[in-house]
């Protein structure tokens, strides 16, 4: 395994995941808002990462605020 190639490929993948996920979330929230079905939040988010070829299933959960809570 070439660690440098692996790390560069991994960073590229994670950047793509971050950018595309943000775009999808923003579009879904705008659509819900425009339809009048968006509450005050927060929105419960859950991301599941699986990796074929190795035994990996990584789950990240969190809240996405729609309003300033301060």
Q: How confident is the model at residue 41 (pLDDT cuts 50, 70, 90)?
A: confident
Q: How confident is the model at residue 8 (pLDDT cuts 50, 70, 90)?
A: very high
Q: The whole model's pTM is what?
A: 0.85
Please state, for a pLDDT cut of 90, what percent of the chain lies above it: 91
Asked if residue 69 has pLDDT above 80, the reply is no
Q: How confident is the model at residue 59 (pLDDT cuts 50, 70, 90)?
A: very high
- Whole-number Å distance between alpha carbons of 13 and 50: 13
- Residues 32, 22, 60, 48, Cα dihedral to 10°: 80
């Amino acid at each position: 395994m070439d660690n440098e190639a692996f790390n560069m490929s991994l960073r590229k993948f994670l950047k793509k995941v971050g950018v595309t996920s943000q775009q999808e979330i923003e579009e879904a929230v705008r659509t819900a808002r425009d339809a009048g079905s968006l509450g005050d939040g927060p929105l419960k988010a859950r991301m599941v990462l699986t990796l074929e070829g190795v035994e990996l299933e990584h789950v990240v959960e969190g809240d996405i605020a729609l309003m300033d809570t301060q």
